[in-house]
Structure 1
């Protein structure tokens, strides 16, 4: 089973999108073009595409989970105007090839790079990315890895119900390999720039539950007939931390942008 099977509706409703500052950074990192082309890998319900609509007019969203593409269609189509062209494709990132002659100026991998066969994906990407194109890899910290007391309390409830080891759908989350920067520098996209974009969020407890159901480590089907008990346990664990019903979170997106060394030399 896909690690995100059954999570797509929750992902669309409860996962935070990318901040305006990150969208602007990606716009500045990518070359111009007409049409200006964006390829979003692991698009999920299209959160990254939606944030980049002001900057790109020829858009391709790729995801391995059909339910995510259904949500992306519902989210993105109403936001498009006549100047935009959107294509969606059900495919693994490592297998995807765009239509002949279609070369993206920016390829985004938001919260997805861990799930890929990274060297294979980057080798494939080298075949079709525009000569001066940019690949951007970015993610914020998940509830599993951040350390505020209320987030630790929520993670402990998940562990009480599903076990100490982090789940990935019906499987187990694998240990990280080399750093993303190392992987990029070993690929054709060896010129790498890094940045950090801070973000502050406020959550209601119901939104935290929705967020948990959008993840691979707390996907709804993992709880079986214990979902009601899980929701009550999360609510009881988080209530002492809420101030006027609100839980505060300070997070940050780590962003790597990379392009071919030859493209850098030509700038």
Structure 2
């Protein structure tokens, strides 16, 4: 079973997308080319691709969860410009190989790098990313790692029902490995630049519940017959912490953009 089994529709509806500032940064990190190619790994319901369609017109979206890809197709196809090409593929990021002659200018790993065999992935990307191409790794803080009063309270309710240890689907969450920047420095994409993009959000309690159901640590099936009881308990806990029905969050995307240190000038890749 996928770590994110049962979460796809919630992920599409309740996970915040990427901010405009991040989309602009990714646009600026890519070389000019025509067509301009994007590979989105762990695309989920396609939110990163959706934000970047104004900047890239030849896109592959990859995910190992078929339900996520169904959501991505439903989000992206209706808004796809007629000049664009979109290919959605069911594949592990580490195994994916694009068609001969297709070399992405930007590879995005949004909220997914932790789940991947990072050294293996980066070696594979070195086989086909365009010489001047960029690998972008980015994520914001999840509710499990955020520290505001209401987020701590929500996390406490999850622990009441599912235990103190963080879950990852039906198993435990594996501890993080080396810092992402260190992993990238050791890879073929060792020229690394970092940025932090603040985001400010307002949540309703319904949105918080939907967000939790989009995560691997609080997927709906984990609660079994206690799901409605969990929702009532979480609502009772959060209502006193709202301000006119709203819960405020200060968060930030940490963004690493990585390139090869000495790009080839072989223009046949573009």
Match of 1:134 in 2: 134
Q: How many residues align?
A: 266
Q: What SS does structure 1 have at the residue aligned with 2:262?
A: helix
Match of 1:203 in 2: 203
Match of 2:254 in 1: 254
Match of 1:59 in 2: 59
Per-residue deviation, 1:114: 0.2
Measure the CA separation in 2 of the matches of 1:243 and 1:171: 36
Match of 1:239 in 2: 239
Summarize the alignment of residues 44-83 of structure 1 with structure 2, pairs less than 5 Å apart: 44-83=44-83
2:116 is the counterpart of 1:100: no
Measure the CA separation in 2 of the matches of 1:100 and 1:231: 49
Conserved in 2, the CA contact under 8 Å of 1:191 and 1:264?
no
Per-residue deviation, 1:2: 1.0
Measure the CA separation in 2 of the matches of 1:69 and 1:46: 8
Per-residue deviation, 1:30: 1.2
Summarize the alignment of residues 1-267 of structure 1 with structure 2, pairs less than 5 Å apart: 1-263=1-263
C-alpha distance after superposition, 1:14-50 (max 9, x if no partner): 0000000000011011111100000000000000000
Q: Normalising by the residue count of structure 1, what TM-score does the alignment of the two structures yield?
A: 0.98
Q: What residue ranges of structure 1 are gaps of 5+ in the alignment?
A: none
| RMSD (Å) for aligned C-alpha atoms | 1.1
Q: What residue ranges of structure 2 are gaps of 5+ in the alignment?
A: none
Measure the CA separation in 2 of the matches of 1:67 and 1:138: 23
Conserved in 2, the CA contact under 8 Å of 1:199 and 1:250?
yes
Q: Normalising by the residue count of structure 2, what TM-score does the alignment of the two structures yield?
A: 0.97
Measure the CA separation in 2 of the matches of 1:61 and 1:259: 21
Measure the CA separation in 2 of the matches of 1:15 and 1:240: 24
Measure the CA separation in 2 of the matches of 1:245 and 1:19: 24
